[in-house]
Structure 1
Amino acid sequence: MSSQGSPRKEDLAYDPDQDPEEKREIRRNYRSLHKTIDDPHADLTALELEDKVKRANEIFEKVKNTQEATLDSLFFVKTSTINSRKARALKFGTGTFDVDDFVTKLVAFMGGYKPPQDVSSDASDDEEEDDSPLDWAKIGRRAMAKSRRVPAMGFMLGPLSIEQKQRAANKPREKLEKNKKDQTRPQELREEDIQRSENETTKNVAIVAAVLEQLEDTKINIFRLVVNPESFAQSVENIFYLSFLIRDAKAALEIDTETGEPLVFASEPPSDEERVNYSLMKRQMIFEFDMATWKRAIEVFDIMEPCIPARPRARTRLGNQWYG
């Protein structure tokens, strides 16, 4: 087996031990190229960009590390962007399609008015009169010679054949006069017309607290306390009022370890000293209560009458009217 000689250092594609001074020279050359194409005032031509790409290829022959290769790739990204922008702005010749000129010649060909110069040898003197209508049939015959499509009704007609309506000048508009006797005014409310009611929430929270204090047993099932068998809405309101008592520590909620029932009872709020000594902290709990739970609680606990007295439906008087 013959042994082969190791490749020369200058032939290596990657050389981590490349001369630092050579690497710095490569970076300076790339930065110089970047500076020439980054100048916003420099409008480089295609030949100038080609020369710079050739110069970048010469520098790349000495690149042996990733940092210098990154500078090379960034340079080609920039040059590609410039070339793409120049290609989009490129115009082939100076003969662009002029819509206004086309319409002018088209109207003249159909006899709309006489142009300064003849635009078609087929146009006769009679067809070029100023006040003659447009001869759409003529342009239709010319177009049909270039197309095999069957003509339909209204061919080449449309917005050009529509006349714009003009409003009659100096025509006064009729004003609608309203009889003031037929006009109705909204009902005026005075301060004494609005009956002010006391804070219902505060009052109902006090009622729930009184019920808890008057219970013979110190603890009661929460469903037996809050459920009103005649009103689902008031049952939800009772839970709302009970939550204020629990928040202020005037009522407590616990789960019986033997039966698993949620029990509620009246309690005394702890003092500030007890809060510090026992590290008491507030805790929040979500109580889910829907109509299905309400009906099930009535059935399971055989609730016939509400523990919390039922409340009359709230009504508000505005003026001479009452609203529920």
Structure 2
Amino acid sequence: MSTNVVIASDGSKNSSTGSSDLQGGLKTQKASFAGKPDAAVRLSLCLVEDRVSRWSQSDLKRLFDVGCVLLALPIMLPVFLILGLAVRLTSRGPVLFRQKRTGMHRRTFTILKFRTMEHLESGVRSMVTTAGNQSFTLVGPFLRRWKLDELPQLFNVLIGDMTLVGPRPKLAEHQLGELKCRPGITGAATIAFAREELILARLPHHEVDDYYHSVILPAKFRLDREYTAQSTFLSDLKLLADTVLRRWDASEIYRSLEIEPIEARIRGPKLEAQGLAASMTIDESLVSGD
């Protein structure tokens, strides 16, 4: 075991600018989002023992990953070709989106995704994407909705950068602590926060980035850390099945953030509209799709 640093959110502050509806929904995880204060002020640090299950670091898990990918390739290659052509024919720019992510033991690698955003020659985007500034390709929303943009990461798994089930790889500035196992295509936090845009939609746009970094990222880190400490072959199989069948566990996000379930207060078309108009950070919207 090694000692690691976990960044936990400071939920003791109250929002001074949020809407009344937001104030009713986000109970204990509110924060004051005037600008972007120093992380040392916004976050609290605590030392914990970092534990990883034997399965998470085992050769058997690696063998399972490679076996699953090799078995799936004959079926997936035609899908890759169709999706690649769809991206290429409906927008200018490369078919694949590439970005440096933090892997096991802080080693960086290049993650692969089907591109879902309009290509910018400068490569510069706003760190926060909103309904007003997003620039999806024609097929981008479809790829995002069905998580098809993540499929190229099977090659990341094959070459050993990633695993099928594990914590999602983050940008260096978003990584909390050090990964003791390979990052995954899906994982405990991926399932729990699959509909996080419904939470972020409750926030004023100027507060999204701070809330994500001070509340959501630490909650995801905690969920992934708890899972990797006790993960097994059977638990990985369950998460894979939940991902393929899109069985998202929305209750976990409410428990983690200590907020009121949004479905209890939003009905019908309004719920869908708010989800589509959600503000998402670059890590989850532009490059991750978790």
Same fold (TM over 0.5): no
- Which one has a bigger Cα radius of gyration? 1
Relative contact order (C-alpha < 8 Å, sep 6+): which is higher?
A: 2
TM-score w.r.t. the length of structure 1 is 0.17
Between Structure 1 and Structure 2, which shows a larger proportion of strand residues? 2
TM-score w.r.t. the length of structure 2 is 0.19
